[in-house]
Amino acid sequence: MDGAAAGRYGKQVLFRPIGINGQAKISAATVTIIGLGALGTVSSSHLCRAGVGRLKLVDRDFVEIGNLQRQLLFDEEDALKRLPKAVAASEKLKKTNSEIVIEHEIADVEPRNVEALVAESDLVIDATDNLETRFLINDACLKNEIPWIYTAALGSTGVVMSIVPGQTPCLRCYIDRLPPAGAIASCDTEGVLSMTTAAAASLQCAEALRLLVGLKPTEGMLYFDVWERSFETFYIDRKDDCPACGLGKYEFLDGTAYSFTTVLCGRNAVQIQPPAESEIDLELLADRLQQAGEASYNGFLLSFKAEGYELVLFPNGRAIIRGTTDEAEARNLYARYIGT
Amino acid sequence: MEVTVVLFATLMRYHPQGEKNKPITMELPEGATINDLIERLGIGENEAKQAFIRHKSRPFDYKLEEGDRVAIFPPVAGG
């Protein structure tokens, strides 16, 4: 056994499709992981342990007790401290592998920042929980010719599909447009098992390593059901009239099809992203909000409780309003307490 | 003509006998399309996104043939 096969990545190097050459490619790669929830905590852990040279972790949210059932990197202390997921994940992963570069970004992925977030990436890992962000990733990755892996999970079922610009169909060849709000099931109504999300993330990362070592993506969309123990692959054609990969119209990236209010999957919460970014002094605002309810600031975010709702505010003005899934009600609370 | 339908992910709730994963056998008139089948099952317009026959994607106006096995998918968006 030579040095590489005996070292940190030994077992992976012994796996023939990877080998020493493949491992060198993995170590030289940059991968951006968007979302650090149930999918992203597992995918980031796999890719960190596999030795991806540079991992960029992006998430907009903070850790809560209700996440621990399926978000495998986090613990109760993270939830008690309400750490941003990007921070908590980065801390855990740095302890796991100090030989790679791990960067984190507490950010919502939006038209104005998505290209900067995926820049310099050899691959983008979709670990999001909504279609709108996926459509945005699809646009940004097609435009910048970056492969990405669509992965989604709900209940006991999951799907995984590699999207390689110029080679495979894209997400909009599969789902032509965003369904209207409320038209499709979410984790709120269907729930999700940790075995589903962990299986989806594992299949996604096997595909990631395939692509990073320079192999062709597997074809088609894999569908599985962990409860019924079924796996099937379905084949989608590239559509010449696909708005994104066929016609080159990036409607989500240019903002024409993008909304700034999002109901968060499984959270009884709505996110509000003000159209214009601002820089808020959260410490000062926490003092002011003490008059109206219970306000606290933990160095990363402000939490404010009143009227049975909780508003969590980030320095750039983005807020997560808990206690409602009504977008209009959330906007109203934002306007009343934070201002527009 | 007789076709077999399998509903996936959240569309399983439209199974007429509530047996989720069990294929549904349906009798349809000659010339019936995938759209006709979706309508017959009461699946909402925005809920079905892709239909596959023998694992290959087909448009919703595709004319079904005797013995086709149709798989119908919603968009899967959770995570």
Residue of A48, A141, A173, A187 with catalytic role: A187
Residues A149, A275, single domain; the answer is: no
Residues A35, A151, single domain; the answer is: yes
Q: Please count the structural domains in chain A.
A: 2
Asked if the Cβ–Cβ distance from A184 to B71 is below 8 Å, we say no
Residue A325 lies in a domain: yes
pLDDT at A130: 84
> Confidence band (pLDDT; 50, 70, 90) for A2?
low
- Structural domains in chain B, sorted by start: 2-73 (3.10.20.30)
- Is B70:B52 a contact under the CB 8 Å cutoff? yes
Q: Is A187 a catalytic residue?
A: yes
Q: Which residues of B touch A198 (CB under 8 A)?
A: none
Q: How many other β-carbons are positioned within 10 Å of the β-carbon of residue A2?
A: 9
Q: Which residues of B touch A234 (CB under 8 A)?
A: 50, 52, 55-57, 71, 73
pTM for the structure as a whole: 0.86
pLDDT at A120: 97
pLDDT at A1: 46
User: Which of A131-140, A195-204, A259-268, A281-290 is most confident?
Assistant: A195-204
Residue A178 lies in a domain: yes
pLDDT at B18: 81
Residues A143, A281, single domain; the answer is: no
CA distance A28 to A333: 47
Q: What is the pLDDT of residues A287-333, one digit of tens each?
A: 888 888 999 999 999 999 998 999 999 988 889 999 998 887 888 78
Residues A218, A280, single domain; the answer is: no
Nearest residue in chain B measured CA to CA from A128: B79
Q: What is the pLDDT of residues A217-250, one digit of tens each?
A: 999 999 999 999 999 999 999 999 999 999 999 9
According to DSSP, residue A250 is labeled: -
Residues A187, A76, single domain; the answer is: yes
Q: Which residue range forms the structural domain that includes residue A284?
A: 260-337
Residues A325, A230, single domain; the answer is: no
CATH value at residue A273:
3.30.310.10
Residue A248 lies in a domain: no
CA distance B36 to B34: 5
Please name the residues in contact with A6: beta carbons below 8 A apart, sequence gap of 6 or more: none
Residues A222, A314, single domain; the answer is: no
Complex prediction ipTM: 0.90
CATH value at residue A140:
3.40.50.720
Residues A273, A228, single domain; the answer is: no
Residue A239 lies in a domain: no
Look-up of token digits 């990405």: A148
| Maximum C-alpha span of chain B | 40
Structural tokens at position A67:
């996440």
CA distance B43 to B38: 6
Three-state SS at A196: helix
Helical (H) or strand (E) element with A107:
none
CA distance A53 to A246: 33
Residue A252 lies in a domain: no
